[in-house]
Copies of this chain bind each other. A is one copy, B any other.
Amino acid sequence: MARHSILDSLSDTLRKETLEKARAMTFPAGQILFSAGQHCQGLPLVVDGRVKVQMTGASGHSIVLYRMENDDICTLSIGCLMTGRAYRAEAVVEDGAEALMIPRGAFDRLMDQSAGFRLGIMESYGRRLDDLMLLVEEVAFRRMDKRLEEWLLARGALGPVMITHQELAVELGTAREVVSRLLKELERRDMVRLSRGKIEVTGLLESPPPA
């Protein structure tokens, strides 16, 4: 059943009222929650699954900005909801997701009535800003080979990763060729095993954490 921790702090009446106005929705993997240029219809509270948020530059290149998982709030939607501006990014469901869509009116009411809800929203915003700041630093200053290794460690530690080089390039915000070459080099060093659409991490060692 659709359940989001930010609703826990609400009084019973307010929660009931909110759940009445909210729509529970499920999305299959691959579905696009919203895309750039669209306008916001309501605030999605992610209850289950995984959604990646990515943007595409003028050049046509894309980069994954962050992911939303269960108990997350689509902070991006708040801004669009409040200011009426269009989304600048795109949200793609990765693992079939479930979300509660809170309409504008109910959101306003929650912000007005519940300090706990406000806190949850603010925390969520803070985390997102932090994520994006870290991403800026990462993209601006860190080396691609290290970033790739780190990504592989995080995602491939417990089994093969099913992903194409092109998709991996979008994860890191680089070009497919760069990913292919770096992966080939890792394979030469026996740190990964490559096959079509699949990467097995075999010998990547956790590097010493940056001091």
Contacts and interface: CB of A to CB of B under 8 A. Distances in A.
Interface of A: 55, 57-59, 61, 63, 65, 75-76, 78-80, 82-83, 85, 88-89, 108, 111-112, 115, 118-119, 122-123, 125-130, 132-137, 139-142, 173-174, 210-211
Given A55-B136, A136-B65, A127 B173 contact: no
What are the 10 A-B residue pairs with the smallest beta carbon separation, nearest first?
A79-B126, A140-B173, A132-B132, A57-B141, A82-B122, A57-B137, A58-B210, A139-B140, A61-B141, A59-B141
Contacts of A108: 115
A210 B127 CA distance: 32
23 contacts: A55-B133, A58-B142, A61-B141, A63-B136, A63-B141, A75-B125, A75-B129, A76-B129, A79-B122, A79-B123, A83-B123, A83-B126, A85-B126, A88-B134, A112-B118, A128-B129, A129-B129, A132-B132, A132-B136, A135-B136, A136-B173, A139-B140, A140-B174
Given A57-B142, A61-B140, A139-B140, A78 B125 contact: yes
A82 B123 contact: yes
Contact of A78 (B79, B83, B111, B126): B126
Contacts of A141: 57-59, 61, 63, 173
